[in-house]
């Protein structure tokens, strides 16, 4: 198996996908695109949507995006990709029959959004309204992390049905049952995902349950970037992810080539 050049504890690069038997699940921020100072400032490579479309076709449609963002935002960043997608940590889904009706219904979040907006303005932080919750980003002022945590914890105490989601330089309130791993469990119950081995790529704490689920389901969890992870495979960042995806979209080189053959699934 190819080894990643660095010596991180989980340093093995993922093996080559088996197009007939694998299903691919991809986080968006920090996995397909680099984290930006603000969520709306991410730069989406023009080649990404065509690459996802080609890879989806190669996998018989068994490719889905899995993001904490609203589906509308994902669609806005990838207008050329119309395939399956899970948004808002699983509260929304597109093109996934296994998730039909399993989403979380909308609720009136106007008062919650007002509280978040006022706190963010007072602290000089970024408020991100979400259709099923709200987020506070402290990337611009890391020193405000403790106050931001105290704020969302206090708000959460009065909001039954919501849960605290920590992420990179952000705290978010999301629907209690909306988690990426729960969404994936539902998604893989239906075609074209059913019966395929799940391969999940993600970079953040929000992805860890999905990474662990993939590994424990006979599939592969891949951690993107630095940090502790349950994943046994790692790619260094979005640039390396795109390179790996390009290799999976192409016919394999005779005799295997970089990335290995469709074997090497040692994840338990
Ligand atoms: Mg991410």
Instruction: Name all domains of the chain by residue range, CATH numbers in brackets.
Output: 22-100+178-249 (3.40.50.1000), 110-175 (3.30.70)
pLDDT at residue 111, as a whole number: 92
Cα(28) to centroid of ligand 1, in Å? Answer: 6
pLDDT score for 11? 66
Q: Cα dihedral sign for 82, 83, 89, 91?
A: positive
Q: Which residues contact 175 (CB under 8 A, 6 or more apart)?
A: 88, 89, 91, 104, 132, 133, 161, 162, 163
**Which of 17, 13, 12 is CA-nearest to residue 246?**
17
Span from the CA of 165 to the centroid of ligand 1 (angstroms): 13
When mean pLDDT is compared over 47-56, 83-92, 100-109, the highest value belongs to 47-56
List the one residue out of 210, 227, 212 whose CA is nearest residue 169: 227
Q: Which residues contact 236 (CB under 8 A, 6 or more apart)?
A: 4, 6, 224, 225
CA 125 / ligand 1 centre spacing (Å): 20
In the predicted structure, residue 1 carries a pLDDT above the cut 60: no
Ligand 1 centre distance from Cα of residue 137 (Å): 14
pLDDT in tens, 107-119: 788 999 999 999 9
Distance CA 84, CA 61 (A): 8
Q: What percent of the chain has pLDDT over 90?
A: 75
Q: How confident is the model at residue 177 (pLDDT cuts 50, 70, 90)?
A: confident
174: β partners: 163
Average the pLDDT over 219-244 and give the result: 95
The predicted structure's pLDDT at residue 259: 45
**Paired tokens of 117:** 């907006």
pLDDT at 108: 83
Q: Is the pLDDT of residue 174 over 60?
A: yes
Identify the band that residue 3 occupies on the pLDDT scale cut at 50, 70 and 90: very low
CA of 158 to the centre of ligand 1 (A): 28
User: Which residues lie at CB < 5 A from ion ligand 1?
Assistant: 27, 29-30, 203-204
pLDDT of residue 34: 97
Task: For strands 233-235 and 220-224, give the pairing.
Answer: parallel
Length of the chain (residues): 268
Q: Which residues are catalytic?
A: 27
Strand pairing class (170-175; 162-167): antiparallel
- Across residues 223-237, what is the average pLDDT? 95
Give the integer Cα–Cα distance in Å for 191 and 84: 11
Distance in Å, CA 128 to ligand 1 centroid: 16
Q: Find the range with the poorest average confidence among 11-20, 140-149, 259-268.
A: 259-268
State the pTM of this model. Answer: 0.86
pLDDT at 268 over 50: no
More confident residue, 6 or 93: 93
């Amino acid at each position: 198996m190819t080894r990643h050049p660095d010596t991180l504890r989980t340093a093995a690069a993922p093996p080559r996908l088996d197009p007939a038997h694998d299903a691919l699940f991809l986080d968006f921020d920090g996995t397909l695109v680099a984290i930006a100072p603000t969520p709306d400032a991410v730069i989406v490579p023009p080649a990404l949507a065509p690459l996802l479309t080609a890879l989806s076709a190669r996998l018989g449609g068994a490719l889905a995006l899995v993001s904490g963002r609203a589906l509308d935002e994902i669609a806005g960043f990838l207008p050329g990709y119309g395939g399956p997608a899970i948004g808002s940590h699983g509260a929304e889904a597109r093109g996934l029959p296994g998730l039909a009706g399993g989403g979380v219904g909308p609720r009136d979040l106007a008062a919650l959004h007002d509280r978040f907006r006022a706190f963010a303005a007072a602290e000089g932080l970024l408020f991100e309204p979400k259709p099923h919750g709200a987020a506070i980003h402290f990337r611009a002022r890391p020193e405000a992390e403790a106050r931001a945590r105290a704020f969302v914890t206090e708000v959460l105490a009065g909001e039954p049905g919501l849960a605290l989601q920590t992420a990179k330089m952000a705290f978010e309130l999301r629907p209690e049952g909306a988690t990426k791993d729960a969404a994936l469990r539902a998604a893989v119950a239906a075609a074209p995902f059913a019966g395929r081995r799940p391969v999940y790529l993600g970079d953040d704490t929000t992805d860890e349950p999905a990474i662990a689920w993939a590994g424990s389901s006979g599939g592969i969890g891949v951690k993107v970037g630095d940090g502790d992870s349950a994943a046994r495979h790692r790619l260094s960042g979005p640039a390396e992810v795109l390179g790996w995806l390009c290799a999976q979209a192409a016919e394999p080189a005779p005799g295997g080539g970089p990335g290995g053959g469709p074997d090497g699934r040692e994840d338990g």
